[in-house]
Amino acid sequence: MTITITDSHCHLDFPDFDEERPEIVQRAGDAGVARMVTICTRLRNEPAVRAIAEAYPQVFYAAGTHPMSAAEEPLASVQELVTLAQHPKFVGIGETGLDYHYTADSAEIQKQSLRIHIEAAQETGLPLIIHARAADDDMARILTETYEARPYHCVMHCFSSSAELAQAALDLGFYLSMSGIAAFPKSQELRDIFAKAPLDRILVETDSPYLAPPPYRGKRNEPSYVVNTAKVGAELFGLPYEEFARATEANFDRLFPKASLKKAAA
């Protein structure tokens, strides 16, 4: 019996997949990937991302403005995000966040955009999907102060930041998502952060088409490869793969209750 797992974050609308999207979804299913959440990073692309989710029972979607695009895109409104969230397969707000690695010059608009997405998560009850890079202090401060004002749910997608930001997120009850980065040979420090986190706060993802885990590193990533990352996660927690997969499935169900295959099939 195939053990099922979920790719909690991928980008099936990206051009990298245009020539073989049905085959990629099929390969994921064959590998035991029962669900995928495909992420819209620019709201003008939401109709195309929504269409992909509507085409496949096992695909759900989220939408927001990626922080690296915040200065290039029209600022989202809370109402716009709340309206999109009414779709039955829309399961999360984002990805949003802060990225000062390449786009520090747009820090202020990124913060404004982030707060809009947080308010939408607070309004809808859907989980916030956070991208954080080279902005740990501002990220921890904004997440903490907004959560204390009005609690919400959140996942730190593709987590590769500091132990301090990880702890700040965990202290708020948030989740950390493990991508292929955690499987890279030089990522021991990151693996140590995940290993110290509670098992019931861990998700797995590909962030495909980026960040393929070994043995596919350097190639285009795809949802079926989330199994490779999850096997590394199982080793970190000293668990059989099947037990780790069951744990991350339970975590995903808890954080993304709207992403139910039973609901989608009803």
Residue ranges of the annotated binding site for a divalent metal cation are 9, 11, 95, 131, 157, 207
Instruction: Return the SS3 of 153.
Output: coil
d(CA 188, CA 219): 22
Neighbours of 2 (CB within 10 A): 10
**Binding positions:** 9, 11, 95, 131, 157, 207
Q: Are 31 and 6 in contact (CB under 8 A)?
A: no
C-alpha–C-alpha distance, residues 93 and 21, integer Å:
24
3-state secondary structure (DSSP) of residue 260: coil
3-state secondary structure of 160: coil
Amino acid at 261: L
List of residues 6+ apart from 79 with CB closer than 8 A: none
Q: Which two tokens stand for residue 37?
A: 């959440």
Identify the residue whose tokens are 């009005």: 150
Residue type for 65, please?
A: T
Element of type H or E holding 155? strand 154-156
- The alpha-helical segments, DSSP class H, found in the chain are 21-30, 46-55, 78-84, 107-124, 136-149, 163-171, 188-196, 226-236, 241-255, 261-265
